[in-house]
Amino acid sequence: MPWKKKVLTPARESTIIRDGKTYPLFYCKLIRYQWVFVCKYCNAYHRHGALPGHVQAHCTNRDSPLIKTGYFIELETDNNAQM
Ligand SMILES: [Zn+2]
């Protein structure tokens, strides 16, 4: 039987404009003091320090467009989950 990687549910995402450039924004969950989201390009969890803002991509998928741009992270809350 062929080995099949489990497909994770990607994080909810949005976009954010900074200095005229559009960046992806991913909503994270707080897990053990880190912000964690599922990257749709890597089908993997990426963990970051618990601070909103722009971060370097943690992508292992070399084809991920995020490697060039980085992305923004924000903590998912009940408020922004409605957006
Ligand atoms: Zn990734």
Domain ranges (residues) in the chain: 23-36+56-83
Better pLDDT: 39 or 1? 39
Question: What does the pLDDT read at residue 35?
Answer: 98
Give residue 65 CA to ligand 1 midpoint distance, Å: 9
CB 27 within 8 A of CB 17: no
Q: Decide: helix, strand or coil at residue 81.
A: helix
State if pTM tops 0.85.
yes
The counts of H helices and E strands in the chain are: 1, 6
What is the percent of the chain with per-residue pLDDT over 90, rounded to a whole number?
Answer: 84
Confidence of residue 1 (pLDDT cuts 50, 70, 90): low
- At residue 71, does pLDDT exceed 60? yes
Give residue 49 CA to ligand 1 midpoint distance, Å: 16
Q: Decide: helix, strand or coil at residue 13.
A: strand
Give residue 63 CA to ligand 1 midpoint distance, Å: 9
Question: What does the pLDDT read at residue 79?
Answer: 78
In this prediction, residues 6-32 reach a mean pLDDT of 96
Q: Which residues of 17-27 are buried (b: 16+ CB within 10 A; e: fewer)?
A: eeeeeebbbbb
